[in-house]
Amino acid sequence: MVERVEVQKEIDDNLEFFKTKLSDLMKTDRDRYALLHRQKIGGIFDTIRDAQTAGNALYGEGKFSIQKITDQAADLGFFSHAHHLA
């Protein structure tokens, strides 16, 4: 149960961080995907698949979020949540 709480905290913290960076990201990376880990941007990618592949490679513990850089609300389903691949 604790692990689930930690994953949810990662999701929430990454989302709040992403919101603070969104206006700057919109200027250069609209409609791309941001890989987020521990309130840092791990990379910007053209496809959600590329972002997931990089997240898996960079963060072996599997905790990361992917957000689409857009001014419209987008539910990425599974990908809008932190992944835990343990």
Task: Assign residue 80 a region (left: φ > 0; alpha: ψ between -120 and 50; beta: otherwise).
Answer: alpha
Query: Using an 8 Å Cβ cutoff, are 50 and 72 in contact?
Result: no
In the chain, which stretches have pLDDT less than 70? Answer: 1-2, 60-62, 73-86
- pLDDT value at residue 62: 60
Residue 34 has phi, psi (to 5 degrees) of -100, 130
- pLDDT value at residue 30: 96
Residue 53: CB atoms within 10 Å: 13
This prediction has a pTM of 0.78
R_g of the chain, CA atoms, integer Å: 12
- pLDDT value at residue 5: 79
CA distance 22 to 1: 32
